[in-house]
């Protein structure tokens, strides 16, 4: 009998990896986790994985959310297990991606047993668990020679029906435990946990700490005593995901704190650029403490074009990293490589485009100080150009080709892709409308974003627009939205610098 096949024609022989994604900081993803994500055919993921964890997945990978929205509906565990088995039986390489560690309150043991019983090969990739990492990022060592030589990891989850459940929890044993107690998923049950420990003999004066959103840029901590920690957490409106530390080590956080304050902490920033380019900007904003709303208002579509004879040009200008990538795809399709550009000077608008060229072994001859078409015109100065090729999107301005033609050059434009609208779901539109900042990295993001939300009037009165440069700012004005922030350097670094400076200035007023 022939083995079952997937729609893509893969034969049976699939496998599953139960992978821990760590506690939230993408820098804590293991090298093995990243490698498996990059090669996976299917990724079944939870809500608490790092936002950037999926950015390394293949473009054709099947990404399925199988987690639980905090306090809301969840995908049944049986359905998740069925998906793993069904996909593996088609021959797929499946990654079951979980926040933290799959074998620490992650139901990884249950899933491993199901896979074994189904005859599916699997591996387990441990992840850094929140009960260790979150306290560490708060300056709290869960063990310390002078304070605690043991640590107990305890689930603080209540029953699904919302009632308190002590099933499996030995409060007397925990109260007498000679070391640190770390409770996962117990922020909603914190009062019950504290009351039960005290009733079983734990000192009400023992230090306790709650760490919210551990290892993320907007992490925060509440420190009190066991008797008062629930009240303090309620006063500070502590929300899941959080872990609670009980023990004398909880008092060490103020002494051993090591993370600097995040400059964008407490602010929400919407990113409107295309999904393929958004993750890098979103990741950097999150690292600075921002809550990021990814609202890709545009996407790029490659165009069917005929590649010209590149040997006839003495200047080739690239206007974006996407233009670089797509030209090399066309070269490969034609059986060519970088040598096809050997006779031309290479110009790039912006460092991102220059870096994309470097990735193909090409060092740009001209990179303007101002990362706009006008800057490249200035940078070319009095250089003689006989025949130029401008590689760009279809919708780009004609400033560069027109300026070169005025200097007597013959100019061809190679439009390799089109920028088209990407519909925004209603929940994303709502989140963007309430953001502190909305970032715009091109004129097309302005046009399509405002079209998607119904115009500038859909934004909250306090929402500030942040523009990458003068051309984008002009488009904002044309569409009735005044740019509140404009980058001095017209690239992503400049946009981030301008955001941080504006947030700092507003915090001082």
Residues assigned a catalytic role: 46, 68
CA–CA distances in Å: residue 61 to residues 36, 56, 358, 505: 12, 10, 27, 43
- The full DSSP string for 88-153 is HHTT-EEEEEESB-TTSSSSHHHHHHHHHHTT--EEEE----HHHHHHHHTT--S-BTTTBS-EEE
CB burial of residue 116 (10 Å; 0-12, 13-18, 19+) = exposed
Strand ranges in 232-320 using DSSP code E only, listed in sequence order: 242-246, 268-271, 291-294, 298-302, 315-318
The token pair at 438 is: 């909305």
Q: Of 319, 281, 279, 275, give the one whose Cα is nearest residue 297.
A: 275
Q: How far, in Å, CA of 169 to CA of 192, rounded? A: 12
Q: How far, in Å, CA of 423 to CA of 438, rounded? A: 17
Residue 418 φ then ψ, to 5°: -115, 145
Residue 441: HSE in the Cβ half-sphere, 13 Å Cα cutoff: 26
Burial pattern 190-201, b for ≥16 Cβ within 10 A else e, equals bebbbbbbbeee
Q: Taken in order 392, 496, 366, 336, is the CA torsion positive or negative?
A: negative
CA–CA distances in Å: residue 288 to residues 21, 283, 321: 21, 9, 24
Q: How far, in Å, CA of 414 to CA of 327, rounded? A: 9
The token pair at 79 is: 């359905």
Note the Cα 392 to chain centre separation in Å: 27
For residue 265, give every residue at least 6 positions away whose Cβ sits within 8 Å of its Cβ, in sequence order, or none: 217, 218, 289, 290
The token pair at 463 is: 């929402």
- Is residue 293 within 8 Å of residue 430, measured between CB atoms? no
């Amino acid at each position: 009998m022939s083995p079952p096949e997937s729609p893509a024609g893969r034969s049976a022989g699939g496998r599953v990896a139960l992978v821990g994604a760590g506690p939230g900081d993408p820098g804590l993803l293991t090298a093995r986790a990243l490698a498996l994500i990059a090669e996976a055919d299917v990724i079944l993921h939870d809500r608490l994985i790092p936002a950037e964890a999926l950015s390394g997945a293949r473009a054709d990978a099947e990404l399925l959310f199988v987690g639980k929205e905090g306090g809301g509906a969840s995908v049944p565990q049986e359905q998740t297990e069925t998906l793993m088995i069904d996909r593996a039986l088609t021959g797929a390489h499946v990654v079951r991606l979980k926040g933290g560690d799959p074998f620490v309150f992650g139901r990884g043991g249950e899933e491993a047993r199901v896979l074994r019983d189904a005859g599916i090969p699997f591996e387990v990739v441990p992840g850094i668990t929140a009960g260790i990492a979150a306290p560490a990022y708060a300056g709290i060592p869960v063990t310390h020679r002078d304070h605690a030589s043991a640590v107990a990891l305890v689930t603080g989850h209540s029953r699904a029906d919302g009632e308190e459940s002590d099933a499996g929890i030995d409060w007397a044993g925990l109260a007498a435990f000679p070391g640190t107690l770390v409770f996962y998923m117990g922020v909603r049950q914190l009062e019950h946990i504290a009351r039960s420990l005290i009733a079983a003999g734990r000192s009400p004066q023992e230090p306790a700490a709650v760490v919210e959103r551990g290892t993320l840029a907007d992490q925060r901590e509440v420190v009190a005593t066991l008797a008062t920690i629930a009240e303090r957490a309620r006063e500070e409106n502590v929300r899941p995901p959080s872990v609670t530390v009980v023990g004398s080590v909880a008092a060490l956080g103020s002494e051993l704190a090591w993370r600097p304050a995040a400059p964008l902490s407490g602010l929400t920033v919407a990113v409107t650029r295309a999904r393929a380019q958004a993750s890098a900007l979103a990741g950097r904003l999150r690292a600075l403490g921002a809550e990021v709303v990814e609202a890709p208002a545009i996407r790029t579509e490659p165009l069917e074009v005929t590649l010209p004879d590149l040997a006839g040009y003495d200047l080739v200008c690239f206007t974006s990293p996407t233009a670089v990538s797509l030209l090399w795809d066309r070269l490969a399709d034609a059986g060519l490589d970088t040598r096809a550009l050997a006779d031309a000077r290479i110009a790039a608008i912006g460092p991102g485009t220059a870096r994309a060229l470097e990735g193909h072994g090409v060092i740009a001859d001209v990179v303007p100080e101002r990362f706009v078409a006008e800057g490249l015109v200035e940078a070319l100065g009095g250089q003689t150009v006989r025949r130029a090729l401008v590689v760009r999107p279809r919708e780009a301005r004609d400033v560069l080709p027109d300026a070169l033609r005025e200097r007597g050059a013959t100019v061809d434009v190679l439009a390799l892709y089109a920028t088209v609208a990407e519909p925004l779901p209603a929940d994303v539109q709502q989140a963007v409308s309430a953001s502190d900042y909305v970032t715009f990295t091109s004129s097309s993001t302005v046009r399509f974003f405002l079209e998607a939300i119904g115009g500038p009037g859909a934004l909250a009165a306090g929402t500030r627009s942040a523009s990458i440069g003068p051309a984008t700012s002009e488009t904002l004005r044309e569409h009735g939205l005044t740019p509140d922030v404009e980058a001095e350097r017209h690239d992503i670094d400049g946009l981030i610098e301008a955001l941080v400076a504006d947030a700092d200035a507003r915090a001082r007023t």
